[in-house]
Structure 1
């Protein structure tokens, strides 16, 4: 059933190359949204035009990502969006970084060093507080993370967040399945790093940091899925816990 999709199960052997990344994104789109179709990507001409404007060639993996899902905003344009081809730009730091994703208020950017553009699936860096840091070893992995994060923070009432008490932080891996993505830094800083993903049937969860009062973000495919997660994890939920309101002062973004 659609509502029973489990990201950790779908990625149980990890992702070793960009072909596997695109296969996962196809499965995830079908499980959480609607299946990808031939018309869901941008056109080759759009990409050639932007390459001409920038005077460079896009890495193969980034090109394939745009061709696969570049016209599906629910997959990449909710919180910290992937830039449209017309929005790609080069940041002057690090000898030049081709930026393809932006934090929603422009506080951080994700991109590929110009020196790495010759690789088919190059590493990605993020402009975190304190400077640029390694983010993912491959553009394709960064696209998987993008799809997960943008779905997590999508519109609607099926999202919640919790400040985890110290005694609960270590319990999350026992309560949910770990998604086989490597640890990576949260752009907001060390206190919210590393970022780890978890899932269960119909649930997607992201833990930002490993200390007390780190944040657990949750999205359910249905209200019943979300309620089950909020009832399972004790803590200060941003919107409600079970059926009772328990507001926190602010979210960490």
Structure 2
């Protein structure tokens, strides 16, 4: 099998937003289709959105929308990255809401508390039956990291070579064999999710659930063979 992007090495070095955008480009080229100039929004569309919202987008947010904001395979196969005209501003919390999770069970927003921060913190708003439990909570330290998380999430949930199943007792020791844990911050403890990668596999381990994507159908088949169980798509 040909060797793809060295995911573990690259994801271990996301120190700046430039590193994150470099990863998105490399990942798209290796796992989907290369990013092109047509995949981003023009500055004019972002300027119109800012004027309508009455707030300025942080530099990293503009970067992402200009680079791959139109690439729904990277951003909106499972969740939904809002287009510029769909962005919402929560004035009470000073948060720019940019994405909804699947079935709108949660929302992601950029904190605008530090107006000078080019790559600010991302917050998570989870919906509950008891609305008194709902509030914005810390998610990831930088918007660019949340974009990396987003493209990984979309690939394991809606990629062309993806699958998922319940975790079994046999998974405890062997699930992450030959995989490397992604070092950027874990999700909040309520979710307890952790990413693992190799050149050909992306694995998200949730409490009691595993979701996986592969770079090729052969790699997916090999992973399912090594970790048998009730795979949803097998």
Q: TM-score, normalised by structure 1?
A: 0.82
Aligned to 2:149: 145
**Which of 171, 175, 179 is the equivalent residue of 1:172?**
175
Is the CA contact 2:31–2:215 (under 8 Å) kept in the aligned structure 1? yes
Is the CA contact 2:159–2:213 (under 8 Å) kept in the aligned structure 1? no
CA deviation digits over 1:193-241, x for unaligned, max 9?
A: 22111122322211113xxxx111011222211111111124332233x
CA deviation digits over 1:171-200, x for unaligned, max 9?
A: 3333422223221138xxx2xx22111122
Matched residues, number: 228
Name the CA shift for 1:117/1:208 in 2 (closer, same or farther; >3 Å).
farther
Return the offset for 1:99: 0.3
Is the CA contact 1:204–1:219 (under 8 Å) kept in the aligned structure 2? yes
The 10-residue stretch of structure 1 (20-29 or 32-41) with the greater mean CA deviation from structure 2: 32-41
Is the CA contact 1:89–1:99 (under 8 Å) kept in the aligned structure 2? yes
Structure 2, unpaired ranges of 5+: 128-132
Return the offset for 1:30: 0.9
Name the CA shift for 1:220/1:174 in 2 (closer, same or farther; >3 Å).
closer
Aligned to 1:227: 221
Structure 1 CA distance for aligned equivalents of residues 147 and 2 of structure 2? 22
Structure 1 CA distance for aligned equivalents of residues 211 and 3 of structure 2? 18
Return the offset for 1:2: 7.1
How large is the RMSD of aligned CA atoms in angstroms?
A: 2.1
CA deviation digits over 1:27-76, x for unaligned, max 9?
A: 11111112212232100000000000000100110110001111211111
Structure 2 CA distance for aligned equivalents of residues 196 and 227 of structure 1? 22
Name the CA shift for 1:114/1:175 in 2 (closer, same or farther; >3 Å).
same
2:78 aligned with 1:50: no
Structure 1, unpaired ranges of 5+: 241-253
> 1:120-199 residue pairs with structure 2 within 5 A?
120-129=118-127, 130-131=133-134, 132-154=136-158, 156=160, 158-185=161-188, 190=190, 193-199=191-197
Structure 1 CA distance for aligned equivalents of residues 67 and 213 of structure 2? 24
Q: Which of structure 1's runs of 4+ aligned residues deviate more than 4 A? A: none
Name the CA shift for 1:173/1:117 in 2 (closer, same or farther; >3 Å).
farther
